[in-house]
Structure 1
């Protein structure tokens, strides 16, 4: 049996993994056959909605750096076949390629280990389902052009949040974070009032990593709702899909990432010194309380900015906001016609709850 035939047989369950690996170890054409098999599955996944960063992240979670390198190489080879590539898709692929080069100083893996990692990777990749296409794959014509938030505004927000993450003074962090959310809310209002009739809601998938995925997904949802977006969490694939208009999506991703850093920093500072079970209950309760309180703070800031704008410049802002919210909800329903409301996480530590709320009050929103 050829190497390609052996690969097809193990993927089809006709022979065992060990037998297939033994056969491939002595097959002269095994290396090329494995590369081709990965290319075929990667092609199918990219045409089935997966993006380079998402696929790489799923593979990296398996814990074998070799498999992540194989995916980075397959992505680069796939990209080289096309000229018409969405810039967001290309940026992800280029980042993976850069990461592969950075790791180039390491000694190459021996052939048997590489074949083992690649064959195991093929078995994992074949289980991945088709998902919603959010960015057109190479060769496709984009249906909706992405414009994104104003780069100058994002840089100002990013700088404020970096200061919030760096400081050891809670009150200072809170001031930076609050200012960031004010900028985000103001920019969102301006983008609503200046948007053309072609503006339409988009979606983006954000990774939600273990541990405490449910609590982290709740934090993302709290940030999203305060900024005119909605999320759907897919725990089996370890990501949440964020629905909203492009400028709001950029802001939510930036703010969520920073708040998660601030939460982890505060949690490490306040957690109890002893007891594995106690620490786990503390962290879970901390993140539940943190997400709840952060959502309250962000929504209040957004409401304040809307009220301030309406007082200074009366407009048709509120009807437009309601219309956009309906558009976002409709986009979510089209992509996920059957969703279930997740059960809230249980709070087992009063100490963690109180510490989480206090940390949320300290968090810098700008």
Structure 2
């Protein structure tokens, strides 16, 4: 497991994000948490490249519960986890019913991913609840591709219907997850670029090579250990597409304030690659 002091520092940054009403401060604290996680990950990658004892550390697989079978919207929860995982060098397999994921990577990176997810999933749900309660979605429509058989030949057409609460929620949460992924990936890439520049003047301390070796180790481990079949396709668009709900979700993702972690339980099923 990653050092408890590091996770405590990450949790402290997330609490600071939660405690501010300023959206720019909230974003700064959350991205600082990601940069801290990335910096620690880089330090460990460099250590593995030069320290024989650290080199014996290998990737692991960990199952993380997402929700109970039958709960609507689990795919958007998974989408959020996957977005965070990708920013932290984690490969993910997804249960066919989206009740859990298997995360493949170095233990410390999975710890950081779980900490960020536990905070952000609550914020995502709270933000989508507030959007629905506002009633703003009621004046909007959803676009859905349907099969039209009323003419001589069958064709696919776009049908516009009133935006239902579930379609509004799914579009909102999908856009929220995408925005969070972009923000965390930006913070990660900036931290990596700084670390690579700083190591350029230190002979024998190639951060870039260490990070590449780490990536290969995770990919190889996932390839050897994964039993997943097929490809996870993300949140389903079958309910319809709403630009308005997605704009609202994207805005909430930009503003995201972090709330207390919430425990979600789930059941095991078949896996898909993601």
Q: Normalising to structure 2: TM-score of the pair?
A: 0.73
Shift of 1:250: 0.5
**Larger Rg computed on CA atoms:** 1
Q: Are 2:127 and 1:234 equivalent residues in the alignment?
A: no
Counterpart in the other structure of 2:62 = 204
CA distance in 1, matches of 2:98, 2:185: 29
- The structure richer in strand per residue is 2
Secondary structure at 1:211 match in 2: coil
Q: Are 2:82 and 1:221 equivalent residues in the alignment?
A: yes
Counterpart in the other structure of 1:290 = 176
- Please, which of 313, 316, 324 is the counterpart of residue 214 of structure 2? 324
Matches within 5 A, 1:160-175: 160-175=13-28
CA distance in 2, matches of 1:255, 1:241: 16
Shift of 1:337: 3.8
The question of whether the paired residues in 2 share the 8 Å contact of 1:230 and 1:244 is answered with yes
Q: Specify which structure has the bigger relative contact order, considering alpha-carbon pairs within 8 angstroms and separated by 6 or more residues.
A: 2
- Please, which of 82, 92, 108 is the counterpart of residue 247 of structure 1? 108
CA distance in 1, matches of 2:94, 2:114: 15
Q: Are 2:33 and 1:180 equivalent residues in the alignment?
A: yes
Unaligned runs of 5+ in 1: 1-147
Runs of 4+ in 1 over 3 A off after TM superposition: 165-169, 272-277
The question of whether the paired residues in 2 share the 8 Å contact of 1:231 and 1:240 is answered with yes
Shift of 1:283: 1.1
Q: Are 2:236 and 1:343 equivalent residues in the alignment?
A: no
The question of whether the paired residues in 1 share the 8 Å contact of 2:75 and 2:98 is answered with no
- The structure richer in helix per residue is 1
Q: How many residues align?
A: 219
The question of whether the paired residues in 2 share the 8 Å contact of 1:164 and 1:262 is answered with no
Counterpart in the other structure of 1:309 = 195
Q: CA RMSD in A?
A: 2.3
